[in-house]
Amino acid sequence: MISSNAMLGKGVVIHHPELVNLYGCTIGVGTRIGTFVEIQKNAVVGSDCKISSHSFICEGVTIEDGVFVGHGVMFTNDRHPRAVTPEGTLQTDDDWSVVPSVVRRRASIGSNATILPGVTIGEGALVGAGAVVTRDVPDHAIVAGVPARIVGWTHDKPQPQAEAAGSSGRVS
Ligand SMILES: CC(C)(COP(=O)(O)OP(=O)(O)OC[C@H]1O[C@@H](n2cnc3c(N)ncnc32)[C@H](O)[C@@H]1OP(=O)(O)O)[C@@H](O)C(=O)NCCC(=O)NCCS
């Protein structure tokens, strides 16, 4: 289902419109979206991105141009989610606030990665399959694992901080 309030740029490719769920979001020119993808209101996906099947892009996520999102990638926007208030009534939009995340241009996110709220994944960075990203990822870093740690740097632009990341290798 593509809601009438989803704003799709020219040349967006969605092979099976009946098998996606897009509402209140903005999708840039030429981006390709696989089956069973959900993109929520107020999420922004840039131009020339590839969003692979079964991924979930929630409210508050901004994805810049040329980003690859693998299969089954889960974004999140609430660090301490609850179904109900302390009084036991169902939560409404007034009971929590969206924590935004950003994926900078030309980054790639491997399949089944989970992106915790409030992180920035840097330009050209590469998130390994199955990683849980809990902290910001520097530009051009390769991160993997749970929690995600720096395991290398992409060849397109090696970063001198690689050694400075040192023994902990934890994403900063
Ligand atoms: C993280 C990644 C970029 C590393 O690739 P690479 O640099 O070629 O690294 P290697 O395959 O040589 O692995 C190096 C080490 O990291 C480990 N490793 C590789 N990928 C890993 C991952 N996703 N999570 C945890 N560890 C990983 C390997 O087991 C290996 O460990 P070892 O040295 O103890 O044997 C890659 O494995 C990956 O996950 N890419 C994403 C793939 C994907 O999801 N594609 C989406 C659509 S098809």
Q: What is the pLDDT of residues 131-151, one digit of tens each?
A: 999 999 999 999 999 999 999
Cβ of 142 less than 6 Å from ligand 1: yes
Residue 132 tokens read as: 């849980």
CA dist., res. 62 & res. 93, Å (int): 20
The band of 11, judged by pLDDT with boundaries at 50, 70 and 90, is very high
Percentage of the chain with pLDDT > 70? 91
- Residue 70 near residue 30 (C-beta atoms within 8 A): no
Nearest ligand 1 atom to alpha carbon 113: 44
Strand partners, 120: 102
Residue 143 Cα to ligand 1 middle (Å):
9
**Does residue 158 register a pLDDT over 80?**
no
Cβ of 72 less than 6 Å from ligand 1: no
Cβ of 53 less than 6 Å from ligand 1: no
Residue 144 Cα to ligand 1 middle (Å):
7
